[in-house]
């Protein structure tokens, strides 16, 4: 039986479609020993598989992953476009910073794309221009369209996609599928209308698949409104705030967590307007959230 190597493009009901370097797609299943090892192949995984026909393959091994995310379950992600609504659902710096920290922890490069900018009045537009500039100064790429899904912003997204595996994430109703439909109208992905009463969307995406777009792969994925509680210990949280890292080496105490310590360069930078106040407030909230939770014992222990 011939052996091949390729990347999983689609995971659905226990089947995995794998694309080889030669451009052939094989439908495969995972061997039973993966289950015994609690190993589950993910979309984005590079795998070795055997196949007699294009529809009867078996995955033999999974290459080491560069990274993986849980929601959506995708491996080897190069960048995440965080689709962030300015309204409907309401703008939340807390949610955006939560997403940024979670991605920093996995060493995945974030891009922030603001949607629904057509709903802003002129004052609100100025406010979001300031917010966008704040995140740019931290070192993030930020796309704030003049008009919703305008050509300039879509061109920027297209250029970002080449040669990368990109995930779009954000709250349900923020406009992930709509953004993809604008980039490639032929996709015609099902978009969910936001229920105004609840300001929550319906889940419209039921599988994880990679879509070949502009020389790269994009995962269209279910929306979600929050990450699970952070994995890192509270004392390490600060290192995932890029803006803090510019100043933290000047803190008086090594291991300063930027809360009550004297001579804290991060708090000084916040007071001087060099770090966004909203970022520092969110940091304190996240710190309390992590510090206040129950201890997490060995994550690899079986859950009962």
In the chain, domain spans: 2-64, 69-220, 234-292
Q: Is 141 annotated as a binding residue?
A: no
Query: What is the per-residue pLDDT for 220?
Result: 61
Q: Is 184 annotated as a binding residue?
A: no
Q: Is 264 annotated as a binding residue?
A: yes
Q: Is 175 annotated as a binding residue?
A: yes
Q: Is 38 annotated as a binding residue?
A: no
User: In whole angstroms, what is the distance from residue 173 CA to residue 236 CA?
Assistant: 32
Query: What is the per-residue pLDDT for 262?
Result: 96
Query: What is the per-residue pLDDT for 228?
Result: 55
Q: Is 44 annotated as a binding residue?
A: no
Beta-strand relationship, 68-69 and 57-62: unpaired
Helices (H), the chain: 32-36, 93-105, 122-138, 151-161, 176-183, 242-245, 265-271, 277-292
Q: 2-64: which CATH architecture?
A: Beta Barrel (2.40)
Residues of the chain with pLDDT under 50: 191-205, 225-226, 298-304
Q: Is 255 annotated as a binding residue?
A: no
Query: What is the per-residue pLDDT for 256?
Result: 96
Query: What is the per-residue pLDDT for 252?
Result: 96
User: In whole angstroms, what is the distance from residue 87 CA to residue 253 CA?
Assistant: 41
Q: Is 159 annotated as a binding residue?
A: no
Global pTM?
0.84
**How does DSSP classify residue 43?**
B
Q: Is 177 annotated as a binding residue?
A: yes
Query: What is the per-residue pLDDT for 299?
Result: 46
**CATH number attached to the domain at 234-292:** 1.10.40.50
Q: 69-220: which CATH architecture?
A: 3-Layer(aba) Sandwich (3.40)
User: In whole angstroms, what is the distance from residue 269 CA to residue 277 CA?
Assistant: 10
Q: Is 5 annotated as a binding residue?
A: no
């Amino acid at each position: 039986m011939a052996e091949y190597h390729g990347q999983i493009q689609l995971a659905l009901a226990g089947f995995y479609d794998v694309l080889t370097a030669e451009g052939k797609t094989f439908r495969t299943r995972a061997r039973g020993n993966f289950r015994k090892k609690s190993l589950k192949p993910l979309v984005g995984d590079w795998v070795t598989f055997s196949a007699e026909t294009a529809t009867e393959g078996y995955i033999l091994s999974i290459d080491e992953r560069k990274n993986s995310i849980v929601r959506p379950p995708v491996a080897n992600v190069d960048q995440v476009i965080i689709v962030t609504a300015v309204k409907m659902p309401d703008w939340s710096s807390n949610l955006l910073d939560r997403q940024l920290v979670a991605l920093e922890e996995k060493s995945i490069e974030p891009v922030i794309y603001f949607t629904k900018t057509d709903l802003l009045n002129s004052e609100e537009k100025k406010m979001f221009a300031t917010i966008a500039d704040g995140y740019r100064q931290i070192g993030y790429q930020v796309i704030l369209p003049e008009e919703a899904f305008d050509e300039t912003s879509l061109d920027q997204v297209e250029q970002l996609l080449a040669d990368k595996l990109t995930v779009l994430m954000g709250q349900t109703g923020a406009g992930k599928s709509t953004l993809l439909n604008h980039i490639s109208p032929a996709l015609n992905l099902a978009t969910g209308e936001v229920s105004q009463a609840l300001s929550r969307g319906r889940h419209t995406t039921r599988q994880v698949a990679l879509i070949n777009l502009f020389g790269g792969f994009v995962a269209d994925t279910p929306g979600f409104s929050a990450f699970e509680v952070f994995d890192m210990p509270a004392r390490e949280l600060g290192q995932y705030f890029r803006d803090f890292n510019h100043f933290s080496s000047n803190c008086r105490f090594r291991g300063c967590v930027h809360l009550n310590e004297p001579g804290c360069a991060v708090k000084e930078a916040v007071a001087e307007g060099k770090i966004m106040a909203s970022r520092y407030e969110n940091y304190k909230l996240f710190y309390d959230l992590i510090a206040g939770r129950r201890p997490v014992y060995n994550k690899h222990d079986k859950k009962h």
